[in-house]
Chain A
Amino acid sequence: MNEHNRPHTSTEGTSMKTREASGPSKMTARSLWENLKDQSASELIIENLIRLSGISVIVVVTLIFFFLLREGSAAFLDIPLRQLFGSRWYPIEGLFGLWPLMVGSFWVTIGAVVIAVPLGLTTAIYLGEIAPLWQREILKPFIEVLAGIPSIVLGFLGWVALAPIIQNLGAPSGLTAFTGSFILAYMSLPTIISITEDALYAVPKEYRDGSLALGATQWQTIWRVVLPAARSGIVMAIMLGIGRAIGETMAVMLVTGNAANIPEFGFGALFQPIRTMTATIAAEMGEVAQGSLHYNVLFGIGIVLFVVTSGINLLATRLVGGRGKRRPGGRL
């Protein structure tokens, strides 16, 4: 009311005063004011662009899913589900059974998890709780280097160096699920190690001090206090490690033998050649005709991968919850 009747006081009052005070200066409050108006126009554009790029992230995810559906939904519509989840993958004969590929992905991933989780957690505990600073400074760059090695290079190494070793151990071929698991384990180690280390780091120092003050040994403190306190972060580390392993393509393609058969259930399965969902897409997409059923099914596998990895990631964040939370600072 009172306020709205005099919206302009704010400009006029000042220009007088500032002019008096600034003496020889030609800049008046009014010209400050006008400058501001000009800036505001361009700032409005910039701020809207910033908003747009924030929102675009949602658009990108939606578009990815949309295009996968667009090219791949026919696989689920045109092929009877019994056949689609059947046990034979012979695209040449029109048999698109995804089951062997899923089993292949499953075995390789399980193998990778079994190897990577104990190694990763132990290394994270060592780096976070035991190693003296100088060792940490030497060891951590190695973990970063490992994270930086391209998957094709690791695949190449598995192919030229690891597979012959495994064959010498008595497997019929060096290209087995285990070979893939081993490479994948090393690929997911950096993820597991760094997230676990963050989780350990987040455990308040008072917990450790309290436990040690009660006479517990360092190991008892780690085992009984620190690890339980960091539990949710560790779960997240493991799940994201799994997500990384399922989605990996080139390395497993080179070293798992690419045989779309269903291995017998059990330990022996790890030493048979298998083929993963990711490798199937990579190996066959180059040779299919666009729009063919085979093409659609490869996109259909993409949909499965998208849904599975999204599910794992969402579950991991949901379970942990706190990690996505904003810290103080920032935000104007």
Chain B
Amino acid sequence: MSNPKPKLSIQNLFFTYGDETEALRNINLDIMENELFILFGPSRSGKSTLLRLMNRLSDLSEGGQRQGKILFNGSGIFSRKVDVINLRRRISMVFAIPTPLPGTIYDNLTYGLKMAGMRDKATLDERVARSLQQAALWDEVKDRLHTSAFALSGGQKQRLCLARSLALEPEVILLDNPTSGLDPISTTIVEQSLHELKQQYTIIMVPHSVQQAARVADKAAFLLDGQVIEVGRQKDLFVNPKDQRTEDYVTGRFG
């Protein structure tokens, strides 16, 4: 598929929270299919806000003001006619703090599918198995799918949440710091699975650190105070940044 069109195109996007704090200023980004795109920058630079806008979880913050658009497969996600529920199934979010829903591992993995009306046991089982394999969790939990998800370790919970999104077979996965609080081994497992996942999905991720950003990115955008400072391929941005601020941040002079 030689499709020059971006999977997600963010155009002139502004966002202000209900308490009037300005979160995003004139964001323009194109994210291509099967790309692992990194949004990084110091805390409060607007990364997570941007991520939440992409599947309209931002709708939940009361009084938020938004301008500009985000095109998904060429059509605007903020349009009135867009079915938000369907959008969230296709652009799925994994949160920084792993949050299993109360219930078993199996319940968690099939939740989104069941809510979408899927009842067929065989299909559900198959999706559960595949998403767990993709998230590198299958071997650890295959014998206890029907035990509580709260009994898992932190790293396992995070991969469970990833698998839970994968089970929906979305097109885009939004990862908000998926390795926060994980030990190095779990982090490595998650990072490795990312490389396989991007064969099939478009991944947009807020990384845990600049080092992680440099390790996994195909392409990255550096955000500061709600603005995109610089966008580039991995080598360009982390090895030869053009903007002084990017260089300062990448080399650890602030942040």
Contacts and interface: CB of A to CB of B under 8 A. Distances in A.
Chains A and B touch (C-beta atoms under 8 A apart): yes
B117 A10 contact: no
A266 to B, nearest CB: 57
Chain A CB within 10 A, most for which of B69, B117, B127 = B117
Contacts of B123: 22, 25-27
Contact of B89 (A4, A21, A32): A32
B247 interface: no
Contacts of A11: 86
A7 B75 CA distance: 7
B118 interface: yes
A18 B73 contact: no
Given A2-B76, A36-B117, A22 B85 contact: no
A192 B93 CA distance: 47
B116 A13 contact: no
B116 A22 contact: no
A14 B81 contact: no
B165 to A, nearest CB: 14
Contacts of B127: 22, 25
- A interface, size bucket: 20 to 34
B200 interface: yes
Contacts of B116: 32, 35-36
A82 interface: no
B126 A24 contact: yes
A4 B60 contact: no
A331 B82 CA distance: 22
Contact of A17 (B60, B117, B171): B171
Given A4-B81, A17-B171, A10 B86 contact: yes
B43 to A, nearest CB: 21
A25 B126 CA distance: 9
A324 B69 CA distance: 38
Contacts of A32: 86, 89, 116-118
B230 interface: no
A35 B117 contact: yes
Interface in B61-101: 62, 69, 71-76, 78-79, 81-83, 85-87, 89-90
A14 B171 contact: yes
B118 A10 contact: no
Contacts of A206: none
B169 interface: yes
A13 to B, nearest CB: 5
A207 interface: no
B62 A331 contact: yes
Nearest to A5: B75
B120 interface: yes
A38 to B, nearest CB: 8
B120 A10 contact: no
Given A7-B79, A32-B116, 8 more contacts: A2-B76, A3-B69, A4-B79, A10-B83, A17-B171, A22-B127, A25-B127, A32-B118
8 contacts: A4-B81, A9-B73, A10-B82, A21-B169, A25-B123, A31-B117, A32-B117, A36-B86
